[in-house]
Amino acid sequence: MVMGSLPEQVDMAVVGGGVGGYFAAIRAAQLGKNVALVEKEKLGGHCLNYACIPSKTLIKISDLLYEVQHAEKFGIHAESVSLDPKAMYDWRMGVSKKLEEGVAFLCKSNGVEVIKGTATFISSNALQLTNGTTLQFKKAIIATGSDATQLKGFEPGSNVFDYKQALMLNYIPKSMVMIGAGYVSVEISMLYAKLGAKVSIIARSDILSKFDREAVDLIKAKMSELGIKIYAGVSPVSHDSSSVTLSSGEKIDAEVIVVAIGLTPFTEGLGLGNTEVQLDEKGFIRVDNTLMTTDPNILAIGDVVGEPLLAHKAMRQGLIAAEVACGQNSAYDNIVVPAVIFSDPVVALAGTLEGEGIKVTKFPLTALGRAIALNTTNGFVKIAADENNIIKGVEIVSDEADSLIGEAVVAIEMCATLEDIADSIHPHPTYSEALQEAAEAALGRSIHYFYGK
Amino acid sequence: MKEIKFVDVGEGITEGHVRKWLVKDGETVKEDQPVVQVETDKAVVNVPAPVSGLIKQNVPENSNVHVGDTIAYIGEASELQSAATKPAAPQQQVPETQNMSVKAREVMATPAVRKLARDLGVDVSKINGTGPEGRIIENDIRSVAHGEVLQSRPIPKFSEVLEEQHEGEVERIPLSQVRKAIAKNMEAAWTIPHAAHMDLIDATDLFDVVQKEKQKVQEEFGVNLTFTPFIIKAVLEVLKENPRFNASYDHEKLEIIQKKYYHIGLAVGSPSGLKVVVLKDVDKKSIIDIAKESHDLSDKARNETITLDEMRDSTFTISNIGSLKAGFFSVPVINYPEVAILGIHMIRDMPVVKDGKIVIRKILPYSLVFDHRVVDGAEAVKFGNSLAKYLEDPDFLEMLG
């Protein structure tokens, strides 16, 4: 970490060194500004240290183990395969450390002054830092993100964890109860189930209630295969060191209880009362489409400004806010923010599958050569287009959906048509052909799937 | 109560500049009395009062108005008091990043085009794109930013073509309406493949005729006789023989529009910039009529009182820089969409060889600049030779005199 002489006056102060914050700081420095980045804990924030990156690391390990253990049909018998949770933990922590150091190096290279501590606004022009410095700024960007929402009666304790702690275990619990049924809960449940834990999910209504049911049904089928039990329509009432009691009276084994019921914008202790910054009714900072808050000197980005609470949205907003603060004509006008659930199968969504005049076409992976070869036919691609064949939304449920959705994002942002995708050569044999086939199918000319005459 | 609006004066004019109020706010005016002077791309227009009454000004001097904007109200005092004064006429669109909320979902433009639109202060949500399926393409944004409906040839940004270092003090001067119009016309003319034919005419006889008739014409008609009317008459005869030069070119239909009438444009310098005044139907006018009219029109242009009607529909244009006591050869730019322009230079004494002897003659250098899509060099030479034939023919000149 760069701990040079503490600046007292800067062009720009960025509060929060998560992915949104360091993107903003580096872009502002690229634009010639004198930038200070205040981070209370670790550069890279939740994404690199506690959430996105660690969960993807552990999911890959769990998939590897699970696939090797279930490869008989390929002729692989791996009875003696075993997992060393301590080594897994070391790898996962090592990844975060490496990335955090990378961010620190990038900040240093770009001349961003990183200050460790917390910051409180004392006016619309100054921050009081915990190291005693008063940091005066011309523009400030708030990038404080969010934190796990706590559940009354299930506050973090000896066996109650939030998602961050759940991704830092150096052992595999025998049983795990997930409270909450969003994508975080689904990802953690499936990964620990694959590593051998008996996992239960407590859902108010159903898992992933806001997502396409067809995709969710595939996930639920896989969960059932993994022995994950979903307790739907009930709520947790109490817990002890080894179990959770439900509103139905039922008791579930719980060596570990994970609370993943959502994220709360983090504005505590920021001293926003000393500025013109206003919050909305949900506690998010109000911003316009240039990410300006109601205070002319202060901008805000990422989770703290509202839905969707996703790292890649924060990154884009970080760059825009920095450009706006530097006087450029940037605006947050992206058409789509892709969403990915790293479940099994992986679900990725860009744009919308509903709306007036929008037609949705589905292409199943059972008709895709690559998927058949790899025994991953458990999925599909849906493509939504309007009357002019302009693509409005894409959902991919497939291996590698997380990467494939990028093509759909560009297509939608570029106002591409079904023909644009269908008539572009996609590499064979890959999953990307599924998107091309879906476009062909939407045009009534699929080769590999017969939709009838 | 009536509104005095800035009306559509045709010629594609959408914007004007309120130069001067000719009456005071609250002053009583008569019907048809000019109340305000508005400068457009083409001319300064005096806007008359539609009825008699009290004037209530609605825009300040030196502000811009668009077609349909209310410049003033006119009526009884009581009516005018109740009239809510609208804010000054809408000014040019000012890019306001903060308030320009872009509903990206409804906009058919790529991220790069949306960014360009913001940089150029264009609201993409208000544009109908010319790309496939109505996509807004980069060119559309640039066209709108330049205030044009559509532009087939994008003009590179100033910063792209020229990186000036500005070592000394500079001043940035916004173009006047007339200057803007000239710039636009010149850009349009640039699509014409220009070619030029230049030669000399022995104007000794012409000079003599003008000298001889000058005083008589002045006394009899009160007109200062110059070479111009004779040149116009000669050009008229040449145009009759070479009708391709009395034409315009339709590049879309690939047709030549040959004109059966002869409206001669004369380039005139005015305080606000170059203007082309038009002498209509010169084939039906005498040399004295032409002399008088060209004089009057030139004066009007210089006084900025010329009307739009007096500046349109020329079929062939003459640029006489000889009167500025200058020039030997110049290459005037064709007055788009005409086919040719004749540049006339100063008549001066020159030694020439005539009948094996060196003699001093009055020599008139000229340049005929032509659209090479429509006519070729040989035709231009023929035009020039024919022009010389008339201007060197004492009988022709005497006939006119």
The domain spans of chain A are 9-148+264-325, 160-261, 339-442
pLDDT at B74: 86
Chain B residues within an 8 Å CB radius of A333: 102, 104, 114
* Residue A123: per-residue pLDDT: 95
Which CATH number is A9-148+264-325's, of 3.30.420.40, 3.50.50.60, 3.40.50.2300, 3.60.9.10?
3.50.50.60
Decide if B133 and A415 are in contact by the 8 Å CB cutoff. Answer: yes
Query: How high is the pLDDT of residue A344?
Result: 96
Residue B131 vs residue B297, higher pLDDT: B297
User: Distance (Å, rounded) from C-alpha B317 to C-alpha A179?
Assistant: 86
Peptide bond into B337 cis (omega under 30): yes
Burial B164-188 (b: 16+ CB within 10 A, else e): eeeeeeeeeeeebbbebbbebbeee
The mean-pLDDT minimum among A9-13, A401-405, A408-412, B93-97 falls in B93-97
Q: How far is A234 from chain B (nearest CA, A)?
A: 38
Output the pLDDT for position B94: 32
Q: List, in sequence order, every residue forming a beta bridge with A200; answer none if it has no partner.
A: A177, A229
Beta strands A175-179; A256-259: pairing state: parallel
Specify the pLDDT at position B68.
Answer: 76
The proportion of chain B whose per-residue pLDDT surpasses 90, expressed as a percent, equals 34
Nearest chain B alpha carbon to A390: B133
Q: What is the mean pLDDT of residues A215-227?
A: 97
pLDDT of res. B163 = 56
**Looking at chain B, which residue has its C-alpha nearest residue A413?**
B110
Nearest to B238 by CA among B345, B401, B346, B393: B393
Domain with CATH 2.40.50.100 in chain B: 2-82
Residues in chain B: 401
Contacts of residue B122 in chain A, CB cutoff 8 Å?
Answer: none
* pLDDT at site B102: 36
Q: Which of B97, B133, B135 sits opposite A331 (nearest CB)?
A: B97
Nearest to B135 among A330, A333, A415 (CB): A415
Question: How close B110 comes to chain A (CA, Å)?
Answer: 4
Q: Which CATH number is correct for B184-400, 3.40.630.30, 3.40.30.10, 3.20.20.220, 3.30.559.10?
A: 3.30.559.10
Chain A residues lying within 8 Å of B108, measured CB to CB: 390, 415
- Judging contacts by C-beta atoms under 8 Å, the chain B residues touching residue A290 are 97-98
pLDDT band for A3, please (50, 70, 90 cuts).
very low
The 10 Å Cβ neighbour count of residue A243 is 17
Confidence at residue A13, expressed as pLDDT on a 0 to 100 scale: 97
Lowest mean pLDDT among A39-43, A76-80, B314-318: A76-80
Confidence grade of residue A411 (pLDDT, cut at 50, 70, 90)? very high
Closest-CA residue of A relative to B124 is A333
Residue A25 has pLDDT above 80, yes or no: yes
Q: Which residue has the higher pLDDT, B167 or A34?
A: A34
Q: Do domains A160-261 and A339-442 have the same CATH topology?
A: no
- For the segment(s) A160-261, the CATH number from 3.60.10.10, 3.50.50.60, 1.20.140.10, 3.40.50.300 is 3.50.50.60
Give the tens place of pLDDT for each residue, B203-226: 999 999 999 888 988 998 888 889
Give catalytic residue positions of B.
372
Judge contact between B20 and B26, C-beta under 8 A.
no
Looking at residue A281, its pLDDT comes to 92
Pick from A324, A330, A415: which is nearest to B108 by CB?
A: A415
Say which CATH superfamily domain B100-161 falls into.
E3-binding domain (4.10.320.10)
Q: Which of A269, A283, A198, A236 is nearest to A40 (CA)?
A: A269
Q: What is the pLDDT of residue B91?
A: 36
Which pLDDT does position B127 carry in this prediction? 81
Taking only the tens place, the pLDDT of each residue in B165-211 is: 667 788 888 888 888 888 888 888 888 899 999 999 999 999 999 99
- Find which of A335, A386, A410 to mutate to test the B interface (most B CBs within 10 Å of its CB): A335
Q: Indicate yes or no: pTM above 0.95.
A: no
pLDDT tier at A350, thresholds 50, 70, 90: very high
Does position B88 have pLDDT exceeding 70, yes or no? Answer: no
Average pLDDT, chain B: 83
pLDDT band at A4 (very low <50, low <70, confident <90, very high): very low
Q: Do A331 and B102 touch (CB under 8 A)?
A: yes
A390 in contact with B at a CB cutoff of 8 Å? Answer: yes
Which CATH number, 3.40.50.2300, 3.90.45.10, 2.40.160.100, 2.40.50.100, labels domain B2-82? 2.40.50.100
Contact A335 B101 (CB under 8 A): no
Q: What is the ipTM metric for this complex?
A: 0.72
| Chain position carrying tokens 């210089």 | B302
Residues of CATH 3.30.559.10 domain(s) within chain B? 184-400
pLDDT of residue A8: 76
Ranges A327-341, A360-374, B67-81, B318-332: which has the least confidence = B67-81
Total CB pairs under 8 A between chain A and B: 42
How many Å apart are CA A184 and CA B65, to the nearest integer?
59
Instruction: Look at residue A80 and tell me whether its pLDDT is greater than 90.
Output: no
pLDDT of residue B84: 44
- Examine the pLDDT at B3 and tell me if it is beyond 70: yes
- Cα separation, A113 vs A37, in Å, equals 6
Per-residue pLDDT at B10: 58
Phi, psi of A250 (to 5 degrees): -65, 150
Which residues of chain A make contact with B110, given a CB cutoff of 8 A? Answer: 413-415
By the 8 A CB rule, do B270 and B177 touch?
no
Average pLDDT over residues A426-445: 95
B150 pLDDT band, cuts 50/70/90, is: very low
Query: Does a cis peptide bond (omega within 30 degrees of 0) precede residue A308?
Result: yes
For CATH 4.10.320.10, list the domain ranges present in chain B: 100-161
A333 and B CB contact within 8 Å = yes
d(CA A377, CA A345): 10
**CA of B130 vs chain A CAs: smallest distance (Å):** 14
Residue A91 amino acid letter: W
B97/A290 Cβ within 8 A: yes
* Lowest-confidence segment of A254-258, A369-373, B58-62, B390-394 by average pLDDT: B58-62
**Tens of pLDDT, residues B260-281:** 999 999 998 888 888 899 999 9
> Per residue in B99-137, pLDDT tens?
333 333 467 888 888 888 888 888 888 787 888 777 888
Q: What is the rounded radius of gyration, in angstroms, for the C-alpha atoms of chain B?
A: 26
* Spatial distance between the Cα atoms of A350 and A144, rounded to a whole number of angstroms: 26
- B141 contacts in A (CB within 8 Å)? none
Q: Tell me the nearest-neighbour CA distance from B121 into chain A, angstroms.
A: 9
Question: How close is the nearest chain B Cα to the Cα of A415, in Å?
Answer: 6
Res B151: pLDDT? 40
The reported pLDDT for the residue numbered B105 is 43
Report the gap between the CA of B118 and the closest CA in chain A (Å): 6
Mean per-residue pLDDT for A83-92? Answer: 97
Segment holding A363, helix H or strand E: strand A359-364
Residue A395, pLDDT score: 98
CB proximity A293 to B under 8 Å? no
Residue B131 C-alpha, separation from nearest chain A C-alpha, in angstroms: 11
Q: Give mean pLDDT, residues A417-423.
A: 94
State the pLDDT at residue B81. Answer: 61
Name the residue of chain A whose CA is nearest to B116's CA. Answer: A329
A428 is an active site residue = yes
pLDDT digits (tens, 9 = 90+) for A191-212: 999 999 999 999 999 999 989 9
Least Cα distance to A324 among A59, A12, A9, A45 occurs for A12
Q: Which of A131-140, B125-134, B188-197, B347-356 has the lowest mean pLDDT?
A: B125-134
Choice among A382-386, B58-62, B382-386 with the minimum mean pLDDT: B58-62
Mean pLDDT of chain A: 94
* B157 or A135, which is more confident: A135
What is the CATH T-level fold of the domain A339-442, as seen in this structure?
Enolase-like; domain 1 (3.30.390)
Residues on chain B touching A331 (C-beta within 8 angstroms): 97, 100, 102, 114, 118
> With 0-12 CB in 10 A as exposed, 13-18 as middle and 19+ as buried, what is A410?
middle
Chain B CB contacts of A330 below 8 Å: 115, 118
pLDDT, residue B87, reads: 40
Chain B: which residues have CB within 8 Å of chain A? 95, 97-98, 100-102, 104-105, 108-111, 114-115, 118-119, 121, 132-133, 135
CB contact under 8 A, B118 and A331: yes
What pLDDT score does B30 carry? 86
Cβ neighbours of residue A432 closer than 8 Å, sequence gap 6 or more: A404, A407, A426
Q: Give residue A208's region: left, alpha or beta (phi > 0; psi -120 to 50).
A: left
Mean pLDDT of B324-329: 77
- Which of A78-82, A120-124, B92-96 is the least confident region? B92-96
> What is the share, in percent, of chain B residues with pLDDT greater than 70?
86
Cβ atoms of residues A115 and A38 within 8 Å: yes
